[in-house]
Amino acid sequence: MGPLNPDAARWMGAALALAARGRGRTAPNPNVGCVIVNRGRVVGRGWTQPGGRPHAEAMALAQAGEEARGATVYVTLEPCAHESARGPACSSLLIEAGVARVAIARGDPDPRTHGAGIARLEAAGIAVAQDMLAAEARTAMAGFLTRQALGRPQVTLKLATSLDGCIALASGESRWITGAEARAHAHLERARHEAILVGRGTWQADTPTLDVRLAGLEDRAPRRLLLSRRHPHGSAEGNGWHKIRSPHDIATLAGVDHVLVEGGAGAASAFLAADLVDRLLLYRAPILIGGGLPALGDIGLGALAEAHGRWQQTDARQLGSDRLEVYERAREA
């Protein structure tokens, strides 16, 4: 294709921001974002809707109408090539709309589309640019891509600790270590996951509701998972809880591409020991506890050398007097 508009990265960035809106609500479909630009003006915006349909491109094209003709489309994932009972293939829709160019952040690993979406576009004379902001797109659609690559959801571990790494006093008191801003952010993260998991100790101690306590997001309460090898006192099933016996069981959950492990130390350690944590949300309060409950138990580390190089920080921000740091599994260079 010809040279991209110099604003191309900005438009793709906008498409990635739209993609984030669907996170945790579109599985097993990817959460895609799409921006259509005609003569420097945005004429359509779309993102995969809850449940997976309409697709982002269909939504953006409907908004653009006739203005899609000759336009450039920025889409975070290769447009699908497979017709479905639930709707036509996005590559067909783009061809019919007469767009001139399609910029794609990442190819679709789904074997029904993989390369076929791009081939269809190019066969119709549409210029295609690939791999624009591919790394950012991997982060934005991590749940879908993890499911495609590894056959399991993306797992995020949340820890809320003191400066000395405690999640509670020795007495068990843990309300509150972090402040209101950090807790609100943690609730927003819940809305970005199809499922939330706690261990048996946390389930018994707190009978946590694990809902999303944010105005306007109340309907996003994710599925509730309980990690327990034993049958707990009182059945977890029937109260909206689904019990799994091993961290690896998350692979069997249909419609779940993002799991948030909320605690306690036992569940967190089990997922780390199984090497099933992809992302770490570390909320830290500027307090010292001393002799409290540690954030983690044994995770199977044999020597310090094994601990290094596993995590890279990808985000950090201040939340009131607390600090949030986000780490992701380090990737090979």
Residue 97 annotated in ligand binding:
no
Tokens of 145: 């891509």
From the list 285, 256, 312, 310, the residue with the least C-alpha distance to 174 is 285
- Pick from 51, 208, 232, 290 the residue near a copy of itself by CB under 8 A: 290
Report the C-alpha gap between 261 and 31 in whole angstroms: 21
Note whether 159 binds a copy of itself by CB under 8 A.
yes
Q: Give DSSP secondary structure letters for 222-278.
A: PEEEEE-SSPPSS-STTTTEEEESSGGGGGG-TT--EEEEEE-HHHHHHHHHTT---
Contact map string, positions 232 to 261, toward a copy of itself, x by CB under 8 A: ------------------------------
- Pick from 119, 135, 170, 188 the residue near a copy of itself by CB under 8 A: 170
Q: Which is nearer to a copy of itself, 7 or 306 (CB)?
A: 306
Note whether 162 binds a copy of itself by CB under 8 A.
yes
List all residues 6 or more positions away from 15 whose beta carbon is below 8 Å from its beta carbon. 33, 34, 35, 56, 74, 75, 76, 105
Contact map string, positions 62 to 91, toward a copy of itself, x by CB under 8 A: ------------------------------
Interface stretch with a copy of itself, choices 77-85, 144-152, 165-173, 228-236 (CB under 8 A): 165-173
From the list 316, 314, 1, the residue with the least C-alpha distance to 136 is 314
Q: Which is nearer to a copy of itself, 199 or 292 (CB)?
A: 292
**Which of 57, 67, 194, 328 is labelled catalytic?**
57
Interface stretch with a copy of itself, choices 44-52, 200-208, 255-263, 293-301 (CB under 8 A): 293-301
Interface stretch with a copy of itself, choices 104-112, 146-154, 252-260, 305-313 (CB under 8 A): 305-313
Interface stretch with a copy of itself, choices 227-235, 244-252, 255-263, 279-287 (CB under 8 A): 279-287
List all residues 6 or more positions away from 216 whose beta carbon is below 8 Å from its beta carbon. none
CA 210 to chain centre: 18
Strands 33-38 and 72-77: antiparallel
Note whether 327 binds a copy of itself by CB under 8 A.
yes
From the list 228, 262, 248, 221, the residue with the least C-alpha distance to 236 is 228
CA atoms within 13 Å, Cβ hemisphere of 287? 20
Report the C-alpha gap between 235 and 247 in whole angstroms: 19
Q: Min. distance of Cβ 185 from a copy of itself in angstroms?
A: 18
Question: Catalytic site residue 57?
Answer: yes
The residue to which tokens 């902001």 are assigned: 133
Note whether 299 binds a copy of itself by CB under 8 A.
yes
- Pick from 81, 296, 319, 324 the residue near a copy of itself by CB under 8 A: 296
Q: Min. distance of Cβ 160 from a copy of itself in angstroms?
A: 12
Report the C-alpha gap between 215 and 191 in whole angstroms: 12
The residue to which tokens 């939504």 are assigned: 59
Residues designated as active site: 57
Q: What residue numbers does the annotated binding site for Zn(2+) cover?
A: 55, 80, 90
Binding site for a copy of itself (CB under 8 A): 159, 161-166, 169-170, 173-177, 269, 272-273, 280, 282, 285-292, 294-301, 303-304, 307-308, 310-313, 325, 327
